Amino acid sequence: MTNIKTNIIGLSRDEIKSKLIESDLIKSDESFRVKQIWHWLYFHGVTSIDDMTSISAQLREELKKVFSLQRPNLDKEQHSVDGTKKWLIKLSDGNLVETVYIPEDNRGTLCVSSQVGCTLNCKFCHTGTQKLVRNLTTEEIVSQLMIARDQLKDWPANENRKISNIVFMGMGEPLYNYDAVKKSVQIFSDPEGIKLSTKRITLSTSGIVPQILEWGNEVDTVLAISLHATNDDLRNEIVPINKKYPLQKLIQACRDYPRSRNSRRITFEYVMLKGVNDSLADAQALVDLIEGIPAKINLIPFNPWPNSPYECSSNNQIKKFGDFINDAGYSSPVRKTRGQDIMAACGQLKSDSIKVKKSLRRLEI
Ligand code: SF4
């Protein structure tokens, strides 16, 4: 009989414990074993059970019969001239996802994906042109961080780590993969493993209103809203999920967001599209729309991709827009474009899975 091993990456502590008890490897009062395994896995980042050296050799042999700790394969690594790195990760079913690391002076941010492709078709976003293939599992989400840390030699997870922040801004709408993303956040922020403060984890949503409130009640991360327009007509076009959850409902959800306060402001992301949403009248409408919400606005210069339908606003217009919002009392940093030469900038991610399949089909004809 084939013994199918359970991949330990992505399991909660309780799940690891249950599996150990069920396999007769520990008694129910031996929680310290779970703690040991967890520490090796998520603090030291070991890639082999043999490396868990504080566990007896005999138990390690038994553990190897039950668990694997295999990461998905790294298909490709690309380096930008500005230090940004993009990893194309091949999942066990052959699908591909992208993960991006953006180093800055005093921090490093990992942009992780939550789905293969996306259903939402935001018009400024390259991922939106790729059909949704499926949700990622917790294992696949957490593995993106494990692989990034492996590649950056960023283990153990100490205070001087290269990856200090995680943003769910890669491929996919994270609130459409609620449970797996929530469990990943719990693993990322566990104080005995990767131990990232939840202040350093950002969930970015295009505006799935019912889940925004649920998330705020259950999980403590920074919330970012992919806003980009201040009236329904324009937002219906740029972020089509707006037809289902129009601005009034979205902004009300932000007002009701349980964790919104001055020390934990909601970030509104606003992509700067030339002649579309970048006038000072738009800036005034934005200020009026979010009035009273503890917020900051991230202005994102549009990053084009092949056949993209928009142009980026001029630097001058972005500055005027930002100054207007700033004068109204909102912090409005302009996000630096990073990794554009490797198509790793905001809104540019798209894995090759569909394209590859098409070219294979051509070859088959
Ligand atoms: S911006 Fe986010 S939600 Fe919209 S299409 Fe792109 S990946 Fe999907």
For residue 202, pLDDT over 60 is answered with: yes
Ligand 1 centroid – CA 161 distance (Å) = 29
What pLDDT is stored for residue 361 in this prediction? Answer: 32
Which of 98, 124, 132, 226 has the most ligand 1 atoms within 8 A of CB, as the residue to mutate? 226
Any ligand 1 atom below 6 A from CB of 177:
no
Any ligand 1 atom below 6 A from CB of 225:
no
Are residues 172 and 116 in contact, defined by beta-carbon separation less than 8 angstroms?
yes
Any ligand 1 atom below 6 A from CB of 242:
no
- The band of 298, judged by pLDDT with boundaries at 50, 70 and 90, is very high
Ligand 1 centroid – CA 153 distance (Å) = 30
- How far apart are alpha carbons 139 and 189 in whole angstroms? 15
Ligand 1 centroid – CA 349 distance (Å) = 10
What pLDDT is stored for residue 317 in this prediction? Answer: 97
**3-class SS at 296?**
strand
Q: Which atom of ligand 1 is nearest to the CA of 172?
A: 7
Range 317-326 contact pairs with CB under 8 angstroms and sequence separation of 24 or more: 317/272, 317/274, 317/278, 318/272, 318/278, 320/280, 321/272, 321/278, 321/280, 321/282, 321/283, 324/280, 324/283, 324/284, 324/287, 325/283, 325/286, 325/287, 325/297
Phi, psi of 167 (to 5 degrees): -125, 130
Q: Which residues does 41 contact at the CB level (< 8 Å), separation at least 6?
A: 8, 9, 69, 193
For residue 325, pLDDT over 80 is answered with: yes
What pLDDT is stored for residue 153 in this prediction? Answer: 95
For residue 163, pLDDT over 80 is answered with: yes
What pLDDT is stored for residue 2 in this prediction? Answer: 56
Q: Which atom of ligand 1 is nearest to the CA of 128?
A: 5
What pLDDT is stored for residue 231 in this prediction? Answer: 98
Whole-number average pLDDT of the chain = 91
For residue 339, pLDDT over 90 is answered with: no
Domains of the chain from N-terminus onward: 6-68 (1.10.150.530), 73-355 (3.20.20.70)
pLDDT tens digits for range 40-69: 999 999 999 999 999 999 999 999 999 999
- The band of 3, judged by pLDDT with boundaries at 50, 70 and 90, is low
pLDDT tens digits for range 115-149: 998 888 898 888 878 888 899 999 999 999 999 99
- How far apart are alpha carbons 334 and 277 in whole angstroms? 15
What DSSP state is assigned to residue 230? S
The reply to whether the predicted model has a pTM over 0.75 is yes
Any ligand 1 atom below 6 A from CB of 276:
no
Residue % of the chain over a pLDDT of 70:
95
Q: Which of 163, 110, 169, 137 is nearest to 9 (CA)?
A: 137
What pLDDT is stored for residue 341 in this prediction? Answer: 81
Q: Which of 331, 316, 194, 198 is nearest to 268 (CA)?
A: 331
Catalytic machinery residues: 98, 346
- How far apart are alpha carbons 33 and 39 in whole angstroms? 10
For residue 1, pLDDT over 60 is answered with: no
pLDDT tens digits for range 256-295: 998 777 667 999 999 999 999 999 999 999 999 999 999 9
For residue 156, pLDDT over 50 is answered with: yes
Any ligand 1 atom below 6 A from CB of 122:
yes
Ligand 1 centroid – CA 16 distance (Å) = 33
What pLDDT is stored for residue 362 in this prediction? Answer: 33
Residue % of the chain over a pLDDT of 90:
78
What pLDDT is stored for residue 356 in this prediction? Answer: 40
